[in-house]
C-alpha cells in the first residue's frame, strides 16, 4: 500500500501543468462541438449536413490531441513509479539481501495501482527467491541399496533406518522452516576426481574398478565385501561429501552432514579395509584444501567411531596441515591407534590417539574431548573441521564394547559445533562412518541433528548402564595430555 500511495503523488509531481491544461481544453472544445448553441434551432437539411461534417473533423482532431496528452501522462507515470520503487528497492536491499533483481525490474514496470503500460495485464511479480537463506544442516543421503551382503552388519538397511527416524515430528517441522534441508541427488565422483586428491594409489583404484566389473560379488578381505555396484557406491559417497564441502564454503549451510555408506575411515592408501573402500574423510580434507586454497590451509579431523580410523591416520601421518584426533576403544579392530602413534616427520604431533578402555562411556569421552580434543584444536587453529561420525560406540552396538548413550552424541556434536564457530566460522562437515545397530544408529544421528540445530537432547529415559571404568580412562587421558603437552 505504501508503494501505491507514494506512486500516485510521484505521478502528479512529474506531469507538467501544460499537459493538464491541454486535456482540459480538449474536453471543453469537445463538449461545445457536440452541443453548440444552435443545436436546438431549426436549420435546413443542407446546413445541418455541413455542421455534421465539421463535427466529425473536430472530433477526430480532438481525439488525437487527447491521445497525445494521455500518452505523456502515461510516460510520466511510469517514470514516477520507477522512482518510487527504486527507493523502496533500496530500502529493502538494506534490510534483506534475498530480493532478486528480476522482481525489482518488474516493479519498475508496474503502475502504483497495479496497471501496466504494456499490453500484458494483471502480471504478477515473481516470488522472492529464498536461495540465499543459510540452513542449519544440509544433509545428503546415499543409500547404495545394491551394495549389500546378506547377514553383514554393514547392510543396506542402515540409511533407511536413519531417514525413518528423521521423519519424526521435530525434524518435519525443521524441514518446513528450512533449517534442515536435504540435498537431492548428489553427484557421483569419478576416478579422475580422486587422482589429484592423492589419497589412494592409482593402481589400487584401477584394480578395485576391475574387480567390481569382473569378479564381484566377492570377498576382498575377511570383513570387506564387493558387489558389482560397490565401486560406484564408494565414488557416490565421495561425491556427496565433496558437494557438502562446497555448500559450507559457499555459505549455503552452516553444517554439512553426509549420510553415506560404505564407510571410509579404515581404507588405506593402497587398499580397502574394515568395510571401507575409499577414504571419504581424507577425500573431503584434500578436496577442501585444493578447491579453496586461500581459505583452507589447515584442517582438523575428529573421529569418534568406536574403531580407530587407521586409514585417515596413515594418510595424513606426515602432513603438518592436518590434525587427526581419534577417541576409540583400546584393543578393538584394527588394533591400531596407540598413544605412541603421534605422526611422522613433519607431521609429528599432529596425530592424537586416545584409546579408551573397554566399557568407557559418556563421562570418559566427554572428559577426553574437554581436556584433549578441544585444547588441541584451539592450539592448531584449523580453517575447517571434518568429523568421522561413527555411531558404533553406542551401548546397543554389537561390534564393540564402549557404552555411549544416545545423548552422548548430542553432547559431542554440540561441542563440535561450538568449536567450529569459535575457530573456523562454523565450517564443519559430518561424514557417517560406523554404526550397525538399527536402533542405536538412528538415535545417535538424531541426537547429532538436534544438537546442530540448537535443540535439547531427545533422549527421554536412562538406559541404566553399568558404571564405566572412569579411573582407567583418566589415566589414559592424562598420558595423552602429557605426550602432546596439552
Q: What is the pLDDT of residues 256-281, one digit of tens each?
A: 999 999 999 999 999 999 999 999 99
Which of residues 108, 126, 144 is at a domain's end?
108
Tens of pLDDT along 414-458?
999 999 999 999 999 999 999 999 999 999 999 999 999 999 999
Q: Are 195 and 231 in a shared domain?
A: yes
Determine, yes or no, domain membership for 340.
Answer: yes
Let me know if residue 104 belongs to a domain.
yes
Whether 240 and 175 map to the same domain: the answer is yes
CATH number at residue 209: 3.40.800.20
Q: Are residues 163 and 69 in the same domain?
A: no
Q: What is the DSSP letter of 364?
A: H
Q: Tell me, yes or no, whether 303 and 411 share the same domain.
A: yes
Give pLDDT, residue 434. Answer: 97
Residue 339 resides in a domain: yes
Cross-strand bridge partners of residue 256: 138, 429
Q: Where does a domain end: 62, 91, 108?
A: 108
Same structural domain, 102 and 142: no
Instruction: Tell whether pTM > 0.75.
Output: no
- The residue range of the domain holding 21 is 2-108
Rounded CA gap, 123 and 115, in Å? 9
Number of domains in the chain: 2
By the 8 A CB rule, do 384 and 338 touch? no
Catalytic residue flag (residue 152): no
Q: For residues 47 and 190, state if they share a domain.
A: no
Backbone angle region of 114, left / alpha / beta, with phi > 0 → left and psi within -120 to 50 → alpha: left
Q: Categorise residue 337: left if φ over 0, alpha if ψ from -120 to 50, beta otherwise.
A: left
Encode pLDDT of 58-89 as tens digits. Answer: 555 545 445 444 444 434 433 333 333 233 33
Could you tell me if 48 and 179 lie in one domain?
A: no
- 390 Cβ neighbours under 8 A, 6+ residues apart: 263, 265, 303, 304, 305, 306, 307, 432, 433, 434, 435
Can you say how many angstroms the Cα of residue 227 is from the centroid of all Cα atoms in its chain?
31
Contact indicator for 427, 285 with CB cutoff of 8 Å: no
The answer on 208 and 87 residing in a single domain is: no
Q: Is residue 127 part of a domain?
A: no
Q: What are the backbone angles phi and psi of residue 124, rounded to the nearest 5°?
A: -90, 140
Long-range (24+ apart) CB contacts under 8 A made by 94-98 are: 97/132, 98/128, 98/129, 98/130, 98/131, 98/132, 98/133
Q: Which of 141, 147, 266, 328 is catalytic?
A: 266
Residue 123 lies in a domain: no
CA distance linking residue 290 with residue 2, whole number of Å: 50
Residue of 86 and 166 predicted with greater confidence: 166
Residue 176: band (very low, low, confident or very high) from pLDDT cuts 50, 70, 90 = confident
Give me the residues paired with residue 63 across strands.
none
| Domain co-membership, 270 together with 143 | yes
Domain identity same for 90 and 158: no
Residues 234 and 371 in one domain: yes
207 shares its domain with 70: no
Q: How confident is the model at residue 408 (pLDDT cuts 50, 70, 90)?
A: very high
Amino acid at each position: 500500500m505504501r508503494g501505491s500511495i507514494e506512486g500516485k503523488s510521484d505521478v502528479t509531481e512529474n506531469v507538467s501543468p501544460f499537459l493538464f491544461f491541454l486535456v482540459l481544453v480538449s474536453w471543453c472544445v469537445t463538449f461545445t462541438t457536440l452541443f453548440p448553441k444552435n443545436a436546438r434551432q431549426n436549420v435546413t437539411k443542407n446546413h445541418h449536413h455541413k455542421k455534421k461534417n465539421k463535427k466529425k473533423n473536430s472530433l477526430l482532431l480532438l481525439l488525437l490531441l487527447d491521445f497525445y496528452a494521455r500518452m505523456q501522462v502515461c510516460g510520466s507515470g511510469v517514470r514516477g513509479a520507477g522512482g518510487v520503487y527504486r527507493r523502496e528497492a533500496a530500502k529493502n536491499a538494506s534490510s534483506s539481501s534475498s530480493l532478486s533483481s528480476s522482481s525489482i525490474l518488474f516493479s519498475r514496470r508496474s503502475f502504483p495501482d497495479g496497471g501496466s503500460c504494456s499490453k500484458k495485464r494483471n502480471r504478477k511479480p515473481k516470488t522472492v527467491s529464498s536461495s540465499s537463506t543459510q540452513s542449519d544442516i544440509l544433509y545428503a543421503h546415499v543409500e547404495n541399496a545394491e551394495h549389500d551382503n546378506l547377514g553383514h552388519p554393514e547392510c543396506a538397511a542402515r540409511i533407511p533406518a536413519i531417514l525413518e527416524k528423521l521423519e519424526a515430528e521435530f525434524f518435519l517441522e525443521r524441514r518446513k522452516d528450512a533449517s534442515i534441508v536435504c540435498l537431492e541427488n548428489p553427484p557421483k565422483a569419478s576416478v579422475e576426481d580422486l587422482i589429484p586428491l592423492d589419497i589412494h594409489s592409482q593402481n589400487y583404484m584401477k584394480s578395485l574398478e576391475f574387480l567390481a566389473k569382473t569378479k564381484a560379488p566377492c570377498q576382498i578381505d575377511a570383513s570387506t565385501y564387493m558387489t558389482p555396484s560397490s565401486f560406484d557406491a564408494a565414488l557416490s559417497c565421495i561425491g556427496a561429501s565433496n558437494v557438502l564441502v562446497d555448500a559450507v564454503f559457499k555459505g549455503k549451510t552452516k553444517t554439512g552432514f553426509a549420510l553415506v555408506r560404505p564407510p571410509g575411515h579404515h581404507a588405506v592408501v593402497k587398499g580397502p579395509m574394515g568395510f571401507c573402500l575409499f577414504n571419504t574423510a581424507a577425500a573431503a580434507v584434500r578436496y577442501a584444501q585444493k578447491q579453496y586454497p586461500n581459505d583452507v590451509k589447515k584442517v582438523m579431523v575428529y573421529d569418534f567411531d568406536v574403531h580407530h580410523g587407521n586409514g585417515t591416520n596413515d594418510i595424513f601421518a606426515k602432513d603438518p596441515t592436518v590434525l587427526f584426533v581419534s577417541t576409540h576403544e583400546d584393543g578393538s579392530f584394527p588394533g591400531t591407534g596407540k598413544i605412541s602413534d603421534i605422526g611422522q616427520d613433519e607431521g609429528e604431533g599432529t596425530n592424537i590417539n586416545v584409546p579408551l578402555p573397554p566399557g568407557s562411556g559418556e563421562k570418559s569421552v566427554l572428559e577426553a574431548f574437554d581436556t584433549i580434543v578441544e585444547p588441541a584444536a584451539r592450539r592448531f587453529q584449523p580453517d575447517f573441521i571434518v568429523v568421522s561420525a561413527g555411531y558404533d560406540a553406542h551401548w546397543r552396538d554389537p561390534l564393540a564394547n564402549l557404552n555411549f548413550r544416545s545423548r552422548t552424541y548430542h553432547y559431542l556434536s554440540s561441542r563440535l559445533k561450538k568449536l567450529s564457530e569459535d575457530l573456523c566460522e562454523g565450517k564443519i562437515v559430518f561424514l557417517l562412518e560406523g554404526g550397525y545397530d538399527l536402533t542405536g544408529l538412528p538415535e545417535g544421528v538424531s541426537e547429532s541433528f538436534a544438537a546442530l540445530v540448537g535443540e535439547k537432547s531427545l533422549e527421554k529415559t536412562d538406559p541404566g548402564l553399568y558404571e564405566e571404568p572412569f579411573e582407567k580412562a583418566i589415566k589414559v587421558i592424562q598420558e595423552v595430555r602429557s605426550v602432546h603437552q596439552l
